[in-house]
C-alpha cells in the first residue's frame, strides 16, 4: 500500500498500516507495537499517528502533518455548526402537575471528531465540544460576557470518530448572575456524554488560592519527542510527537512505556497548546478541558506501578468535573498538578489543579475512571 503524499508505507504485523516519510520500517513497527497500539489507544490521545486498526481491512488515516496543523485541526473540531432549535416536551406523571415541565426548545449543534487509532472519540474532545456548544448559547448581559465557571460531565458511551456528534443544549436558566446549561452529546440517537455547566457574570468578592508548588522550568524537561526517543528511533519519535495538539512534559518522567520509578500517587505535568490560539476565552477554556483529560488517571497508575503500555490495562473515563477560577490561557505553559486520594472497586479517582506559569490557579479538575487489570 502506498501513501498518496509521499509513497512510503509500512505494514505491521498487528494489521495496522502506517505511512511516514523517511522513517525506517523497523522504527515504525516499534512505535506501533510498543507505544501507539497500546499507549495511544488507551489514552485516547490525538498524538496524530497515521494509524488505523480496522476490523476487517486495512485503512489509511489522514491526520495533521505538524504541530501547527494539529492545533488547526483541533480548532476546526471545536468550530461547531448550529443546526437550529429542537423541541422537547416533558409531560408530568398522571395527576402530578409539578412534574409537567412543558415544552422547551434546545439549540442543536453538530461537529466532527479527530481521528483516533482505535476509532473511538477521545473523551477530552467531546468534553471540549460540549463546553463550546453550551457557551455559544449564553448571550452577554448588558454587553458583559458570562464565562464558564464549572462543568460536570458523565461519559455514558463510547463514540465513533467517523460519525458526526450532535450537541443538544438546553437553556435551563438565565438568572441575574448565572446561566445554567445542560448538554447531551448524541450519536446514532444515543447519548455518549451528558454534561451540566454554569456560567457567571464577572463579580468582585473574596479572593485567595493555594500557591503553585515548586517545579522545574518546562524548558528543562524533555519534550515528548525526546522522551519517546529513549525507547524509539528519534526520527520516529519526532514524527509522532509533532502531530499532537498539546505539548505534555512530565516532571517525574512519563509512564507511556515504563512505570514510574516511585510508586507515588501524584505527578506534575507542564502542558500547552502547540500553536497560538484565537483570543477567545471560550476556546481557551475548551482547550484546557481537552488537555485535562490526557493525564488525569496517571497518578493512579503510578501508585500501582502500571504503565500505559501494560497489556493488562483496561482504562475508561467515567466522569469529569472542572472548576474555572480565573481566566484560562491554554497557549502558554500550564502546570498541571495531580494526585489520587483513592482507588477501589476497579475505579480510580484523580484530582488536579492547573496553574498559569506566573502562579495563578486557573482551574481545578476531578475525574474518576475505570482502571482494570485483565490477567491472562
Catalytic residues: 293, 317, 367
Is the distance from CB of 38 to CB of 30 less than 8 angstroms? Answer: no
In angstroms, the Cα distances linking 79 to 72, 76, 132, 220, 291 are 10, 5, 8, 35, 17
- Residue 291: all three cell numbers together: 488537555
Q: What values do phi and psi take at 35, rounded to 5?
A: -125, -65
Q: Are 294 and 312 in contact (CB under 8 A)?
A: no
| Euclidean distance between CA atoms 44 and 55, whole angstroms | 18
Closest CA to 118 of 5, 15, 42: 42
Q: Which helix (H) or strand (E) holds 68?
A: helix 67-78
- Widest Cα–Cα separation across the chain: 72
Identify which of 101, 113, 282, 76 has the alpha carbon closest to the alpha carbon of residue 187.
113
Q: Are 297 and 317 in contact (CB under 8 A)?
A: yes
Q: 148 near 169, Cβ under 8 Å? A: no
Q: Can you tell me the distance from the alpha carbon of 236 to that of 143, in angstroms, rounded to the nearest whole number?
A: 50
Say how far apart CA 99 and CA 372 lie, in whole Å.
40
DSSP code of residue 274: S
Amino acid at each position: 500500500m502506498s501513501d498518496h503524499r509521499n509513497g512510503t508505507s509500512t505494514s505491521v504485523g498487528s494489521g495496522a498500516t502506517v505511512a511516514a516519510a523517511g522513517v525506517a520500517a523497523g522504527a515504525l513497527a516499534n512505535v506501533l507495537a510498543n507505544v501507539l497500539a497500546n499507549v495511544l489507544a488507551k489514552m485516547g490521545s490525538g498524538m496524530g499517528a497515521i494509524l488505523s486498526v480496522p476490523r476487517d481491512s486495512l485503512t489509511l488515516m489522514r491526520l495533521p502533518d505538524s504541530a501547527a496543523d494539529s492545533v488547526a485541526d483541533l480548532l476546526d473540531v471545536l468550530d461547531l455548526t448550529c443546526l437550529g432549535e429542537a423541541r422537547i416536551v416533558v409531560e408530568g406523571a398522571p395527576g402530578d402537575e409539578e412534574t409537567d415541565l412543558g415544552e422547551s426548545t434546545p439549540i442543536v449543534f453538530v461537529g466532527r471528531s479527530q481521528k483516533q487509532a482505535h476509532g473511538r472519540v477521545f473523551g477530552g474532545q467531546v468534553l471540549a465540544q460540549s463546553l463550546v456548544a453550551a457557551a455559544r448559547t449564553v448571550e452577554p448581559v448588558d454587553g458583559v460576557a458570562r464565562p464558564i465557571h464549572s462543568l460536570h460531565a458523565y461519559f455514558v458511551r463510547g463514540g465513533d470518530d467517523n460519525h458526526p456528534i450532535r450537541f443538544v443544549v438546553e437553556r435551563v436558566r438565565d438568572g441575574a448572575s448565572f446561566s445554567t446549561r445542560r448538554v447531551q452529546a448524541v450519536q446514532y440517537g444515543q447519548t455518549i456524554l451528558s454534561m451540566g455547566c454554569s456560567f457567571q457574570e464577572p463579580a468582585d468578592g473574596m479572593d485567595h488560592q493555594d500557591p503553585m508548588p515548586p517545579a522545574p522550568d518546562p524548558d528543562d524537561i524533555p519534550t515528548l519527542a525526546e522522551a519517546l526517543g529513549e525507547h524509539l528511533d528519534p526520527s520516529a519519535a519526532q514524527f509522532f510527537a509533532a502531530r499532537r495538539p498539546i505539548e505534555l512534559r512530565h516532571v517525574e518522567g512519563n509512564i507511556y512505556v515504563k512505570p514510574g520509578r516511585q510508586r507515588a500517587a501524584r505527578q506534575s505535568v507542564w502542558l500547552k497548546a502547540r500553536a497560538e490560539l484565537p483570543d477567545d476565552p471560550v476556546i481557551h477554556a475548551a482547550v484546557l478541558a481537552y488537555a485535562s483529560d490526557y493525564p488525569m488517571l496517571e497518578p493512579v497508575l503510578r501508585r500501582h506501578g502500571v504503565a500505559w503500555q501494560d497489556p493488562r490495562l483496561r482504562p475508561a473515563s467515567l466522569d469529569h468535573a472542572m472548576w474555572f477560577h480565573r481566566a484560562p490561557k491554554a497557549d502558554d505553559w500550564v502546570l498541571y498538578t495531580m494526585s489520587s486520594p483513592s482507588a477501589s472497586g476497579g475505579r480510580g479517582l484523580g484530582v488536579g489543579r492547573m496553574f498559569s506559569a506566573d502562579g495563578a490557579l486557573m482551574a481545578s479538575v476531578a475525574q474518576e475512571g475505570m482502571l482494570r487489570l485483565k490477567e491472562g
